[in-house]
Structure 1
Amino acid sequence: MAVSKKRDKDVYKAPRNIGKPESENPKWLVPTALTLLIVGLTWIVIYYITAANWPLPIGNYNLLIGFVFLGGGMVVLTRWK
């Protein structure tokens, strides 16, 4: 009668923590991102509501400042896990 072969015990097993983040988000990440996004949006809205007189009397550079705040918030959000 034929005898079955025994299986090798040295079979590779993948680690169980694949795909899980190594660490949590820093505590400052979400508040900083939300603050930058809100400040940028508020800056642009105030600029348009006050007919380009506020927040600073520098003309269309106010739009640039608002978009820099928005962009900064988006850059910070790229670190969110």
Structure 2
Amino acid sequence: MPKSRVRKKKVYTPPTESNPAAMARARKRRPSSRWVPITALVLIVAGIAWLVTYYMTQGQYPIAAWTFWNLAAGFGLLVVSLGVLTQWR
């Protein structure tokens, strides 16, 4: 019976970067400013405080005319804080 050939493995060569400008931009990314985590923390605390105030006062505060829109405002602050946190490096 004939013997099968042994396959040689190819030597891995990493791909060359086709866009050197993109690599230069990636290297230049600096840490975010101090305002980013501070703003996110303030928005989180404000959103939680808004919701807790709404529930504890049975809808009388922060703005009684908004009724259930107070929930949207509180959760909206939390969602905006998540958007700010995406900019944190």
Q: Same fold (TM over 0.5)?
A: yes
C-alpha distance 23-45 of structure 1, shift in aligned 2 (>3 A)? same
* TM-score where L is the length of structure 2: 0.66
2:74 to 57, 63, 66: 66
Per-residue CA deviation, residues 12-59 of structure 1 (Å, 9 max, x unaligned), is xxxxxxx87720111210110000010000000000000010000110
C-alpha distance 21-46 of structure 1, shift in aligned 2 (>3 A)? farther
* TM-score where L is the length of structure 1: 0.72
Q: What residue number does 2:41 align with? A: 34
1:76 to 72, 76, 84: 84
Aligned length: 64
Q: What residue number does 1:25 align with? A: 32
Instruction: Give the unaligned 5+ runs of structure 1.
Output: 1-18
Q: State the superposition RMSD in angstroms.
A: 1.8
1:44 to 34, 39, 51: 51
Answer 1 or 2: which has greater helix percent: 2
Instruction: Give the unaligned 5+ runs of structure 2.
Output: 1-25
Q: Which runs of 4+ in 1 moved over 3 A?
A: none
